[in-house]
Amino acid sequence: MSPLVQKDVFLPATNRPFITTLSEPQISIVAPLYNESQSFPHLVARLNAVMDASPLAIEAVLIDDGSRDDTAALMQQLALADGRYQCVFLSRNYGHQIALSAGMASARATEALFIIDGDLQDPPELLTQFYQKFQEGYDVVYAVRKKRKESWFKRTAYASFYRFMRSISYVDLPLDSGDFSLISRRVADVLKQMPEESRFIRGMRSWVGFRQTGIEYERDARVAGEPKYSFKMLRRLAYNGIFNFSEYPIKLVTRLGMLTLGVALLYFIQTIIKKYFYGDVPQGFTALLFVIILFSGVQLIALGLIGEYVLRIFFQTKGRPLYVIKEVIRQQQRQPFL
C-alpha cells in the first residue's frame, strides 16, 4: 500500500564500493526495527551470511518504525552500500504490526516474503527450511514456538492467550505461532488489500486461507537491547486479536444479560414466596443495593465491550492511510514521499 505519491531523486555517484542492486529478488526478508542500534550489527551479519550462502536472489527490507537512537542512520549507510537492502523509514512510530505491513507492501519479491523480528529472536537461518516447505506447495509456512527463552510469567501468559484465542476465534489460529513466517507472493498481495486499522497479522494470515503448515523452532533470546513490546502494547495486540477475529465478546454481552435476568427472576420468585407463605419480606437497603451493583456492573461491562467495537469502527471509517513513509532508500537512490 503506497499511502502517498512517490517522487524519485537520484544521488550523485560516489567512490564507495557497493553491491549491485537486485532487480527482481525471489525472496524478500522483511524485518521491522525500533531502537535496535545495539542488535543491528548482529542482524546485518546474519542476514548477509544467509544471503551469501543462498542460491536464491534475496533482498532484505528493513523498516525503521520511528526509532529515536542511531538505527535510522545505520540503515541509511547500509542501504547505500549494499544493493540487497531496501530501507523504509516511517514518519513516526506506528507500532510493530503497522511497520510490518509497510515492509510487506514495499517488498519486491516475486516468490515469497520471509517475515522476521529485528531482534533476532526469529533465526533468519531457518529460511532454507521454510523455503523447502514453500516448494512443496504451501503458501504460508509459519513458525511454532516449542520453547521460549523468557520468564515463566511471559511464557504462561503467551501460552494462555494463544489457547484462549483458538477457543473463541472463528478462524483456525495455530497455537504458539507469531508473525515469524514465510508467505507466498499471492498471500502478501491479499494482505495488502486488507486495510484494517487495528491489525493482527497472524490472524489475517490465517483468515486468508490457502495451504498452510507449521515448523517447530526454539525461540532465541534477544541478541542485545531491551524488549520493545510493553505490557500496554501487548494488551492492545491481544485486544485486536480478540475483537477482530472472534464473535465471543459481543455474544458475551447477550449471555451476561440473560444471566442477570435469570438472577433477577430467581430473586423475585424468592421474594414472592417469602411474602405469601412466610410473611417475611427482605427489609432495608441490602437487597436493593445488591441488585443495583449487579445490574450496574453488567451494564458497564456491556458498554465497555460495545465500546471496543465502536472505537475500531470509528478509526476505520476515518479512511486515513495506515502509515506515512518519510523515505525509502536503496543503493544510490533515495525515494522521498511528499
Mean pLDDT by 10 residues, the chain (338 residues): 37 39 79 88 90 89 89 87 88 88 88 88 88 89 76 70 73 78 90 84 84 82 63 69 73 78 75 71 63 75 81 79 84 55
Q: Tell me what pLDDT residue 299 has.
A: 78
- Grid coordinates representing 243 are 475483537
Q: Tell me what pLDDT residue 311 has.
A: 80
b/e sequence 28-60, b meaning 16+ C-beta within 10 Å: bbbbbbbbbbbbbebbbebbbebbeeeeebbbb
Closest by Cα among 120, 73, 117 to 96: 117
> CA–CA separation, 50 vs 84, rounded Å?
12
Q: Tell me what pLDDT residue 13 has.
A: 33
Q: Tell me what pLDDT residue 23 has.
A: 66
> CA–CA separation, 277 vs 93, rounded Å?
68
Q: Tell me what pLDDT residue 221 has.
A: 66
| DSSP secondary structure string for all residues of 114-155 | EE--TTSSS-GGGHHHHHHHHHTT-SEEEEEEEEE-S-HHHH
